[in-house]
Amino acid sequence: MNATSPQTAAALEIRGIRKRYGALEALRGVSFDIQRGEFFALLGPNGAGKSTLISIISGLVRANEGSVAVLGHDTVGDFRQARRLLGVVPQELVFDPFFKVRDMLRIQAGYYGCGKEVWPWIDEMLERLDLSAKANASMRALSGGMKRRVLIAQALVHRPPVVILDEPTAGVDVELRRMTWAFMSELHRQGTTVVLTTHYLEEAQELCSRIAILDRGSVAVIEPTQQLLARHPYRFLRIKLAGDAQLPEALRPLVTGEVGGALELKLETRVHPIGGVFDALRTAGVAIEDVQTREPDLEDIFIELTGHSAQAAAANGAAT
Amino acid sequence: MSPDQLGFVTLLKKEVMRFWSVLGQTVTAPVITALLYLLVFAQAMKGRAPIYPGVGYTEFLVPGLIMMTVIQNAFANTSSSLTQSKIMGNLVFLQMAPLGPLQWFGAYITAALFRCLLVATAMLIVTYPFVHLPIHQPLALLVMFVLSASSLAVLGMIAGIVAEKFDHIATFTNFFITPLSFLSGVFYSVHALPPLWFKASHFNPFFYLIDGFRYGFFGHADVPILYSMLWGLGFFALASSVCLWMLVTGYKLKR
Ligand SMILES: Nc1ncnc2c1ncn2[C@@H]1O[C@H](COP(=O)(O)OP(=O)(O)O)[C@@H](O)[C@H]1O
Ligand SMILES: [Mg+2]
C-alpha cells in the first residue's frame, strides 16, 4: 500500500487519513511525513483529532480512508512489523489493576516478542523514571503521575525506534514535567523519532524541531518550529498610559487586549513601525507611563491559526 | 521461540496469572458451590432407583455437576477478563501489540481451559470420599471436556467483546448460561422427563456436553456418544467462527 521501501522510508507516512464518527468528521484527509530522528510536535485545540490520528497509527481505530506506514510498514497490511517499530503512550491513564509494575512491564515486553534480554532495560527505565521504589507495587497503588510514567515505560519496553506520546505531561506537576522532558530528550538524542502532543506550547517550542497544527481534522500548518515562529512578521507592544488618558482613535483597531492596566497592541512590522505609534501618541498629547514589547510566541501563532487558546483548550478537559 | 510465539505465550501467561491471583474466587468458590449441590441433592434423592444399571444417583450426579461448573467457569473466565479490560481501558495494551486474532483466540481459550482443568480436578478430588467414579472411556471424557470448556470459553469471549458493562455479562449469564446448564440433565436423566421437556432438552447444546461427558465415566449415556461429540464440535465451530469473525473485523473493539 505504501510504495517506499523500508530502508529509506520515513518514520511515519500518513496518507489521506479520513475518519468519521457518525456525522462527525474527526479527520478530513490528513497527510504528512515525519522523518527519522525528528522531534515532532502535533498540536491543536481539543477535539482537533490528534488522539484519533494517534489511535489510527497505533491500530486502535480504523480509518475510513487513507493509510499509515511506520518505517515503511503498513499499519494494517503489515501490522505486526509496524507495531513492533512503534511505541505509543495513550492519553488516558489506563492500567491493569491485577499486576505489579515490573511484572506489567515484562508482560508488555512479551507481547512484542521480547524476553529476558530486555529486563535490564526495564529496570533502567524504572530507575530513570524514578519508579524503582514502586517496581513491586501493585498498579492500583500508584499515584496518577506514577501511572503516567509507567505508561511511558510500557511504550518503550520493546525499544521502538518511533515513539508517540499523547499529552504525556497533562496534569503532571512541574518537577515531573521536567523529568519527562529530560527523558524524551535523551531518547531523541539516542536516535529515536519522538512525536509529542501537548497543550503546553512552550514545551513544543523548546523541544521540537518541527510542528504540525491540526485544527478541526485538517492540518492547518506544518513547519519547522523556527520558521513557524518567524512566520508572522509582527510584535506586541504594551503601553500603559499616564493618568486617564485615552488612546488616539487611529490606534484603537490595533488593540488586542488589556494586561494589568496596560493595553496590548499587535503591530505588523511593515505596516505599523513602532516609531509611528509613538508619533501618533505624541501628536495626540498622550503621556506614556510604561512601555514593553513582546515577540510573538507559539501561543500567538496557535491562536492566529485556530482561533483558540491552547491553554483554554487544556482547561476544557484533559480526557478527550 | 519466535517473537509471535512469545507474544502468544505471554498473553496466555497473563490470562492464567489473572485468575491465579484470585484462586479463591475462580477455583475454590465454584468447587464449594458444586459440593453443596452434591450434598443437598444426594441427600434428597437417596434411595431412588439407579438411573443406569449399577449407577447410583450420587455417582450419576457428580459428572454432571463437574460439567456444569466447567461450563459456567469457562464462560466466566473469558467474559469477565475481556469486559474488565475493556472497562478499565487496559485492553488497548493488547490492541496496540503485534498480536493477531488467532493469538488472542488461542491464548484466551487455553487459559480458560486451564482454569476448567483445575476446577474439574479439584471437584474429582473433593467428591472422592463420596463417590468412586469409574472412567470407562478416557478419550471420550477428554474430548468432551475440551470441547465443552473451549466452546463456552469462546462464547464468553463473544459476550466479552459485545458487552459494554458488567450488567450485560450478568444478563447473559443469568438468562442463558445458568438456565441452560441447569436444564441440561445435570440433576436427572432426560428420560425421566415429560415428553415435551424430553424433546426440548435435545435442542440444548449443554445437554450433549454433559451427556457425552458422563458417557466418558460410565460408558453409558442418554444419547450415543457420537451425537454428543458432533453437537459439541458443531457448537464449538459455530461459536469460534463468530468469535474469529469479530476479532478479524475488529467488531466492537475497533472504532
Ligand atoms: N469514539 C468516538 N466516538 C465518537 N466521537 C469521537 C470518538 N473519539 C473522538 N471523537 C470525536 O472526534 C473528535 C476528535 O477527537 P480527538 O481525536 O480526541 O481530539 P484531540 O485529541 O485533538 O483532542 C472530537 O470531536 C471527539 O469528540
Ligand atoms: Mg487527545
Q: What is the distance of C-alpha B19 from the center of its chain? A: 15
What one-letter code names the amino acid at B65? L
Q: Where in chain B are the domains?
A: 3-249
The DSSP bridge pattern shows strands A193-197 and A162-166 to be parallel
The boundaries of every CATH 3.30.70 domain in chain A are 234-295
Q: What is the distance of C-alpha B89 from the center of its chain? A: 27
Q: What percent of chain B shows pLDDT beyond 70?
A: 100
- How far is B166 from chain A, CA to nearest CA, in Å? 17
Averaged pLDDT for residues A15-22: 97
What one-letter code names the amino acid at A257? G
Substitution target in A98, A101, A116 with the highest count of B β-carbons within 10 Å is A98
pLDDT of the residue at A2: 46
Q: Any CB–CB contact under 8 A between B9 and chain A?
A: yes
Pocket test for ligand 1, best of A18, A20, A24, A28 (most atoms within 8 A of CB): A24
Q: In which band, very low, low, confident or very high, does the pLDDT at A317 lie, cut at 50, 70 and 90?
A: very low
With a 6 Å cutoff on the Cβ, whether A90 touches ligand 1 is no
The boundaries of every CATH 3.40.50.300 domain in chain A are 12-85+160-229
What one-letter code names the amino acid at B130? F
Q: In which band, very low, low, confident or very high, does the pLDDT at A291 lie, cut at 50, 70 and 90?
A: confident
Q: Any CB–CB contact under 8 A between B242 and chain A?
A: no
Asked if residue B151 lies in contact with residue B208, where contact means CB atoms within 8 angstroms, the answer is: no
Q: Where are the beta strands (DSSP E) in chain A?
A: 12-21, 24-34, 39-43, 65-70, 73-74, 86-89, 162-166, 193-197, 210-215, 218-224, 234-241, 255-259, 262-268, 288-294
Pocket test for ligand 1, best of A18, A21, A46, A56 (most atoms within 8 A of CB): A21
Specify the CATH number for A12-85+160-229; select among 3.90.1150.10, 3.40.50.300, 3.40.50.720, 1.10.645.10. 3.40.50.300
pLDDT of the residue at A257: 85
Topology of domain A234-295 in CATH is: Alpha-Beta Plaits (3.30.70)
Q: In which band, very low, low, confident or very high, does the pLDDT at A320 lie, cut at 50, 70 and 90?
A: very low
Sequence-ordered alpha helix ranges (H) in A119-273: 119-128, 144-156, 174-189, 201-207, 225-229
> Cβ contact (<8 Å) for A95 and B3?
no
With a 6 Å cutoff on the Cβ, whether A21 touches ligand 1 is yes
Partners of residue B96 in chain A, C-beta under 8 Å:
58-60, 83, 88
Nearest CA in chain B to A55: B96
Q: In which band, very low, low, confident or very high, does the pLDDT at A64 lie, cut at 50, 70 and 90?
A: very high
CA of B140 to the centre of ligand 1 (A): 53
> Cβ contact (<8 Å) for B98 and A88?
no
- List, as ranges, residues with CB under 5 A of the ion ligand 2: A 50-51, 91, 320
Averaged pLDDT for residues B108-115: 98
pLDDT at B197 over 60: yes
Pocket test for ligand 1, best of A18, A52, A55, A166 (most atoms within 8 A of CB): A52
B220-238 residue pLDDT tens: 889 999 999 999 999 999 9
Would you tell me how many other CB atoms lie within 10 Å of the CB of residue A120? Answer: 9
Residue owning the nearest CA to atom 26 of ligand 1: A47
Substitution target in B90, B108, B248 with the highest count of A β-carbons within 10 Å is B90
